[in-house]
Amino acid sequence: MRTFTLLIASWVPVALYASLIFVLSSFSNPPLIPEWDVPNIDKLYHVLEYAVLAFLLIRALGLTFPAHPMPRLIIWGVVLTALYGLIDELHQAFTPGRSMSVYDALADAVGACAVGFVWSRKPHH
């Protein structure tokens, strides 16, 4: 039973957060996102948004597969996060009022890589 609880505690935050990203990217003007008159501020939003997703994914992978080497789990977390960013950009290509952007996908990957880099620097037991 403890394993099931651990799986739920590990993966529900990932699923909820990924769902939130998908829902917000379905709006032409996403709610909750401040509109500041700063050039390319959306790229910062993408970096932060996908940094959180990478953190949640790497955490979930580490809790689910504790016997696997952490560097491998970090790579998987970063790759899965970047792939989700690409899928979300593709989704936006079919969303009225939105468009697909390679630069947004790159910003998503930068956020994921930043978390992967920081996580790889912390001591693992």
Please, what is the end-to-end C-alpha distance for the chain in angstroms? 24
Kindly report the pTM of this predicted structure.
Answer: 0.90
- The sign of the CA dihedral 82, 34, 31, 97 is negative
Distance (Å, whole) CA 80 – CA 38:
30
Rounded Cα gap, residues 55 and 112, in angstroms? 8
Tell me the pLDDT tens digit for each residue of 84-114: 999 999 999 999 988 899 999 999 999 999 9
CA-to-CA dists, residue 5 to 13, 41, 54, angstroms = 13, 39, 21
pLDDT at residue number 29: 73
Q: How many residues does the chain have?
A: 125
Residue 58 has pLDDT above 80, yes or no: yes
Share of the chain above pLDDT 70, in %: 93
Of residues 37 and 71, the one with the higher pLDDT is 71
Backbone angles phi, psi at 33, to 5 degrees: -100, 115
Query: What is the Cα–Cα distance from 20 to 85, expressed in whole angstroms?
Result: 13
Give the dihedral of Cα atoms 22, 86, 124, 16; nearest 10 deg. Answer: 10
Average per-residue pLDDT for the chain = 91
Note the pLDDT of residue 122. 86
Are 74 and 120 in contact, with CB atoms under 8 Å apart? yes
